[in-house]
């Protein structure tokens, strides 16, 4: 009976899905039948809102209004001003074929309520939490007129020199895939075919492999084999497609000598055919025009090739509206290619419900009620507590409330760095600073302590290049009016009066993110000078690290009593950091990127290959093996690492069977005990290693994780199911295979400290 009911229900769902699809098809057939060629090409054109971000009023002089009147604009992005967007939607509806605009924006880690930057979010290893951040962001964004978000950014990155490492989920493809799914569900809900008023369409970026930019230099070329790309980088993009992502953004880089925005292997063969993605693909900003700089051809040629390769929408290059008609006349592209791209964009608008009600996301009354609410901010604090990684603690933490602290350093009172990169929030300037958060719970004094950087030209670039790019005459205030030595002296004087020093150092927000690659990933010299002076006071010294990337911290690790990495923790950052420092919450974040000992080791990542002459991570130099004369092989802090105020002990893992058939599965069980004196979260990690395989395999690969809450003294058994899929990989022929033989199955608290059992696949 039960089976019959479920069959009936399944048939009903299938039937209604088909009916919905055909209704959409009929609608779009009819609409396209009435559209001119120019209007169809117009749908493929996306522009940034005039004034990007800052609210402008819609006038006939507005470039986008002129384009709309000519039927040459399908979407707009970059504004979260619901009144502006409402007005421009009205223009769209009364122009050309009267098709509503899709309205995009870089909503990356929250919107008006800012959550920790994505790399920080990933260190929570808490998928429900991450999904909920996307849910809240979708509500706030949709209340502000946005129906399409340029998130999740799922580029795997092994190189902390790349400033955009901050925007993604770290170095691991399995974890990245889980995060990608969680975010798609959070923004879009579970049904990719329709959207509620407070759900928005995602745009998964940057497709593909942007995070493998050579030498960590932004926009640089990518050299990867297909096999390495598939095994090491592609899973998050793939999982996002499986979760129903509505759109993708092509990346700036090339792959196999072809820019990604005209790469038919990436867009057509893999994304559409292999993974079944049926949404639309938009280029990154000006990426089509940049294909000329890549050396492929003039704007007409690259536009035609991009369209033929499967790129539907042109962001800011004007290549499609400028050249496709001519290319059609010359036979360089076919009418079908234009129709297909146009249809995909119209389908997205249909799914968003824009044909039914073009104003459904444009209700100014929602802003007041749903955006930057006390509940959302309280949630931001809760999230930020879970996204801090305790890197070192000799016992000084947690601090006792009432302790007199000196909060010093150039990051101590900087609201913008709490909000972090890609923040479109009107409230970013109100983000709670570290000093404010700490001063709310204990007697605290503040001193700036040091210059941000000793190299003033570099600092000027970090602080102002963004503004100067968009406004060449941007007035740049003098960088430092007080000499560095005086700042240090003031900080030391305050430190001497305090019981504990909290030094807040690292990167301001503009030192990471797009166009912010660094060749040196140590703490800036000026800040290290401050730390040395503070160290000399002999007072307990806690370093609070604000950063968007892994930094090389060997000196700090040797000289600080504790290091708490708080990243850019968002709107409520200062409060959430104080929660951890003073023991109201127990730190539980774990790294999702390896922290190298020095920049020379980069790229350094836990899931590397063994080489033919391997050398242990912590062993000293030896001739004729794979190592450095002047540095250990191992990282300072490995992937998966993060301390707690509790201690967790692990039993050896036990398998339900030591042999497995490719169609079967085994269970691996480990007992985890909170052997400390306070309650806390622990993320139990599962890794595998294929001992012998037809192609070389990484020494370790993450295949599962579980975050659990354990009371002090509590023990719990944690089980993972291992199937052939977990043991499979793309072989040399690019087939997804599980090869018979031995596998090491490892469990542990991080990627370095694991215990192992052997499993044989027959
Ligand atoms: C970035 C994208 C972003 C786009 C639109 C580009 O420069 O690479 O990540 O979504 O601009 O703002």
pLDDT in tens, 569-627: 999 999 999 999 999 999 999 999 999 999 999 999 999 999 999 999 999 999 999 99
Encode pLDDT of 503-530 as tens digits.
999 999 999 999 999 999 999 999 999 9
Query: Confidence class of residue 460 from pLDDT cuts 50, 70 and 90?
Result: very high
Ligand 1 centre to CA of 185 (Å) is: 22
Whole-angstrom Cα distance, residue 502 to residue 434?
10
Encode pLDDT of 648-665 as tens digits.
999 999 999 999 999 999
pLDDT at 52 over 70: no
Beta bridge partners of 737: 729
Whole-angstrom Cα distance, residue 266 to residue 255?
9
Verify whether ligand 1 is closer than 6 Å to residue 150 (CB atom).
yes
Q: What percent of the chain has pLDDT over 90?
A: 93
- Atom 7 of ligand 1, residue of closest alpha carbon: 285
Quick one: pLDDT at residue 53? 56
For residue 206, which atom of ligand 1 is closest to its CA?
A: 9
Whole-angstrom Cα distance, residue 147 to residue 141?
7
Quick one: pLDDT at residue 55? 53
Quick one: pLDDT at residue 589? 98
Cβ-based neighbours of 566, under 8 Å, separated by 6 or more: 120, 384, 387, 388, 434, 544, 545, 546, 573, 576, 577, 580
Verify whether ligand 1 is closer than 6 Å to residue 202 (CB atom).
no
- Atom 6 of ligand 1, residue of closest alpha carbon: 285
Quick one: pLDDT at residue 468? 84
Ligand 1 centre to CA of 410 (Å) is: 29
Positions of E strands within 283-401:
314-315, 389-393
Query: Confidence class of residue 3 from pLDDT cuts 50, 70 and 90?
Result: very low
Verify whether ligand 1 is closer than 6 Å to residue 344 (CB atom).
no
Quick one: pLDDT at residue 88? 95
Mean pLDDT of 196-207: 98
Query: Confidence class of residue 470 from pLDDT cuts 50, 70 and 90?
Result: confident
For residue 251, which atom of ligand 1 is closest to its CA?
A: 8
Quick one: pLDDT at residue 477? 86
Q: Could you tell me if 157 and 211 are in contact, meaning their C-beta atoms sit under 8 angstroms apart? A: yes
- Test site for ligand 1: of 47, 285, 286, 290, most ligand atoms within 8 A of the Cβ: 285
Query: Confidence class of residue 6 from pLDDT cuts 50, 70 and 90?
Result: very low
Q: What percent of the chain has pLDDT over 70?
A: 96
**pTM as predicted:** 0.96
Mean pLDDT of 246-263: 98
Quick one: pLDDT at residue 474? 82
Verify whether ligand 1 is closer than 6 Å to residue 284 (CB atom).
yes
Ligand 1 centre to CA of 217 (Å) is: 16
Positions of E strands within 185-294:
201-207, 247-250, 254-255, 258-259, 280-282
- Test site for ligand 1: of 514, 516, 517, most ligand atoms within 8 A of the Cβ: 514
Is 690 annotated as catalytic? no
Strands 562-565 vs 389-393: parallel, antiparallel or unpaired = antiparallel
Verify whether ligand 1 is closer than 6 Å to residue 106 (CB atom).
yes
Encode pLDDT of 233-249 as tens digits.
999 999 999 999 999 99
Given the residues 62, 106, 155, 284, select the one marked as catalytic. 284
Average pLDDT taken over every residue of the chain? 95
Mean pLDDT of 730-754: 98
Which residue, 82, 164, 74, 162, is CA-closest to 117? 164
Encode pLDDT of 64-116 as tens digits.
999 999 999 999 999 999 999 999 999 999 999 999 999 999 999 999 999 99
């Amino acid at each position: 009976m039960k089976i019959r009911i479920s069959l009936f229900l399944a048939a009903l769902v299938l039937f209604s899905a088909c009916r919905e699809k055909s209704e959409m098809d009929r609608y779009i057939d009819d609409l396209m039948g009435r559209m001119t060629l120019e209007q169809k090409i117009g749908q493929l054109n996306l522009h940034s809102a005039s004034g990007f971000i800052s609210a402008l009023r819609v006038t006939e002089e507005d470039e986008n209004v002129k384009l709309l009147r000519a039927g040459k604009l399908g979407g707009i992005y970059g504004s979260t001003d619901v009144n502006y967007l409402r007005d421009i939607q009205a223009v769209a509806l009364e122009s050309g074929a009267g098709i509503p605009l899709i309205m995009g924006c870089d909503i990356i880690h929250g919107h008006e309520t800012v959550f920790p930057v994505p790399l920080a979010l990933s260190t929570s290893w808490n998928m429900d939490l991450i999904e909920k951040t996307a849910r809240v962001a979708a509500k706030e964004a949709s209340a502000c007129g946005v129906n399409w978000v340029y998130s999740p950014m799922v580029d795997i990155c092994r190189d902390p020199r790349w400033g955009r490492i901050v925007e993604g989920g770290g170095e691991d493809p399995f974890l990245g895939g889980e995060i990608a799914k969680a975010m798609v569900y959070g923004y879009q809900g579970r049904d990719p075919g329709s959207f509620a008023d407070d759900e928005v369409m995602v745009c998964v970026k940057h497709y593909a492999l942007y995070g493998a930019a050579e030498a960590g230099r932004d926009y640089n070329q990518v050299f990867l084999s297909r096999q390495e790309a598939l095994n090491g980088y592609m899973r998050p993009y793939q999982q996002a497609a499986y979760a129903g992502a509505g759109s993708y953004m092509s990346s700036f880089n090339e792959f196999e000598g072809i820019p990604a925005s005209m790469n038919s292997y990436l867009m057509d063969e893999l994304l559409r055919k292999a993974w079944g993605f049926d949404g639309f693909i938009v280029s990154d900003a000006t990426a089509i025009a940049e294909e000329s700089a890549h050396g492929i051809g003039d704007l007409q040629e690259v536009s035609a090739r991009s369209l033929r390769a499967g790129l539907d929408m042109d962001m800011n290059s004007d290549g499609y509206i400028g050249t496709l008609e001519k290319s059609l006349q010359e036979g360089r592209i076919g009418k079908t290619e234009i129709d297909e791209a146009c249809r995909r964009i119209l389908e997205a608008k249909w799914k968003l419900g824009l044909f039914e009600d073009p104003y459904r996301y444009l209700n100014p009354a929602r802003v007041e009620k749903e955006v930057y609410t006390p509940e959302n901010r309280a949630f931001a604090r809760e999230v930020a507590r879970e996204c801090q990684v305790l890197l070192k603690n000799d016992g000084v933490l947690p601090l006792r409330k009432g302790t007199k602290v000196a909060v010093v350093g150039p990051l101590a009172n900087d609201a913008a760095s709490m909000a972090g990169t890609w923040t479109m929030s009107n409230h970013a300037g109100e983000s709670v600073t570290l000093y404010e958060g700490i001063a709310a719970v204990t007697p605290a004094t503040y001193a700036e302590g040091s210059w941000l950087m000793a190299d003033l030209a570099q600092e000027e670039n970090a602080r102002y290049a963004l503004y100067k790019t968009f406004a060449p005459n941007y007035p740049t205030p003098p960088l430092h009016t007080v000499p560095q030595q005086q700042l240090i002296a003031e900080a030391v004087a305050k430190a001497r009066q305090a019981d504990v020093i909290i030094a807040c150092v690292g990167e301001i927000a503009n030192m990471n993110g797009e166009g912010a690659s660094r060749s040196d990933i140590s703490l800036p010299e000026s800040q290290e000078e401050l730390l040395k002076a503070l160290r000399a006071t002999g007072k307990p010294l806690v370093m609070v690290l604000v950063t968007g990337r892994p930094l090389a911290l060997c000196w700090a690790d040797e000289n600080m009593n504790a290091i708490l990495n708080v990243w850019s923790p968002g709107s409520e950052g200062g409060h959430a950091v104080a929660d951890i420092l003073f023991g109201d919450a127990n730190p539980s974040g774990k790294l999702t990127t390896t922290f190298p000992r020095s920049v020379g080791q980069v790229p350094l990542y836990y899931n590397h290959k063994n080489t033919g002459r391997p050398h242990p991570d912590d062993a000293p130099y030896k001739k004729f093996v794979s190592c450095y004369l002047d540095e250990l092989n191992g990282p300072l802090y490995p992937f998966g690492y993060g301390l707690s105020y509790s201690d967790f002990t692990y039993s050896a893992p036990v398998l339900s069977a030591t042999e497995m058939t490719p169609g079967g599965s085994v269970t691996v069980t480990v007992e985890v005990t909170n052997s400390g004196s306070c309650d806390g979260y622990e993320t139990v990690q599962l890794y595998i290693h294929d001992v012998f395989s037809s192609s070389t395999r990484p020494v370790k690969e993450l295949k599962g994780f579980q975050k659990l809450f354990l009371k002090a003294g509590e023990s719990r058994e944690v089980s993972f199911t291992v199937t052939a899929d977990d043991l499979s990989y793309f072989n040399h022929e690019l087939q997804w295979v599980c090869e018979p033989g031995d596998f090491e199955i490892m469990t542990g608290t991080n990627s370095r400290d694991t215990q192992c059992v052997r499993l044989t696949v027959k």
